[in-house]
Amino acid sequence: MGSRNVLHVTFVCTGNTCRSPMAEVIAGRIIAEKGIEHVTVGSAGSAAWPGDPASDGAREAAREAGLDLESHRSMPLTQEVVAASGLLLCMTGHHLRRCEELGGQGRSRLLTEMAGEEGRVDDPFGGSARVYRATFDQLVRLVGVVLDTVARDAESES
Q: Domain of residue 107: give its range.
A: 7-149
What pLDDT does 158 receive?
A: 63
What pLDDT does 1 receive?
A: 42
Each residue of 37-90: pLDDT tens digit? 999 999 999 999 999 999 999 999 999 999 999 999 999 999 999 999 999 999
Q: Is the pLDDT of residue 2 over 70?
A: no
- The answer to the question of residue 1 being in a domain is no
Say if CB 12 and CB 46 are below 8 A apart.
yes
Each residue of 10-41: pLDDT tens digit? 999 999 999 999 999 999 999 999 999 999 99
Which residue out of 18, 19, 59, 90 is catalytically annotated? 19
What pLDDT does 117 receive?
A: 97
The reply to whether 13 belongs to the active site is yes
User: Which CATH number characterizes residue 73's domain?
Assistant: 3.40.50.2300
What pLDDT does 40 receive?
A: 97
What pLDDT does 151 receive?
A: 87
- The answer to the question of residue 157 being in a domain is no
What pLDDT does 138 receive?
A: 99
What pLDDT does 152 receive?
A: 84
- The answer to the question of residue 154 being in a domain is no
Which residue out of 52, 107, 109, 123 is catalytically annotated? 123
What pLDDT does 155 receive?
A: 72
- The answer to the question of residue 156 being in a domain is no
Virtual CA dihedral for 119, 83, 153, 13, nearest 10 degrees? Answer: -20
- The answer to the question of residue 37 being in a domain is yes
- The answer to the question of residue 68 being in a domain is yes
How many domains is the chain partitioned into structurally?
A: 1
The reply to whether 123 belongs to the active site is yes
- The answer to the question of residue 49 being in a domain is yes
Residues 6 or more apart whose Cβ sits within 8 Å of residue 77: 12, 16, 44, 45, 46, 48, 95, 98, 99, 102
